[in-house]
A and B are shown apart, each in its own frame.
Chain A
Amino acid sequence: DSGVTQTPKHLITATGQRVTLRCSPRSGDLSVYWYQQSLDQGLQFLIQYYNGEERAKGNILERFSAQQFPDLHSELNLSSLELGDSALYFCASSVVADSGNTIYFGEGSWLTVV
């Protein structure tokens, strides 16, 4: 167990809908990262937050947004869902924002868009 908690574990929804994925980082970690992993694909960096503020942005679609709350949990909002958004979404956390620090992944949220 990495200490990073993600909910829900599985989610099935229809095209055009909106979903919210939730992540609680490890105790003491200030930085949260979101990654997308499609079938047989690598890990695509979406966005990073540090202590409530956006710190880095990757290949995140405009239909997707995220935030980190004062209690440090984070939510990833996916809207106007398309079939191609079906993927495993990982949240990860680390102690600080510096790129040299180890990040720990949660178990992921499986999203299926039908």
Chain B
Amino acid sequence: GENVEQHPSTLSVQEGDSAVIKCTYSDSASNYFPWYKQELGKRPQLIIDIRSNVGEKKDQRIAVTLNKTAKHFSLHITETQPEDSAVYFCAASSGAGSYQLTFGKGTKLSVIP
């Protein structure tokens, strides 16, 4: 089945700096890669996603890049703010014929004011 590795597990940045979280996946047939943000004790919320036919997608301060050849994708957050502090999860679809998302173990982002 699909395996998703996420790094780093924790990340601290100064307010206003950029944050980058990287994920690799194992199944070359995976075609959908969402990112979720989870605040403490709350539900994961989708913040951005990318499909395998696109190399990059941007939404205001958040961007995601995908390298299908290397089987990795990254989340970029620019001009970080304290409210960006949360746990971020990457995920990958499990490929053709399968239907569940496989999640990385999460990155705890702390933005220091």
Contact = CB atoms under 8 A, between A and B. Distances in A.
Interface of A: 2, 31, 33, 41-43, 45, 48, 50, 55-56, 58, 90, 97-108
Interface in B11-43: 31-32, 34, 36, 42-43
Interface of B: 31-32, 34, 36, 42-46, 49, 51, 89, 93-95, 98-106
Nearest to A47: B100
A58 B3 CA distance: 13
B104 to A, nearest CB: 7
Nearest to B43: A105
A83 B39 CA distance: 25
Secondary structure of the A contact surface, majority rule: loop
Given A42-B106, A100-B93, A50 B99 contact: yes
A99 B48 CA distance: 16
A45 B101 contact: yes
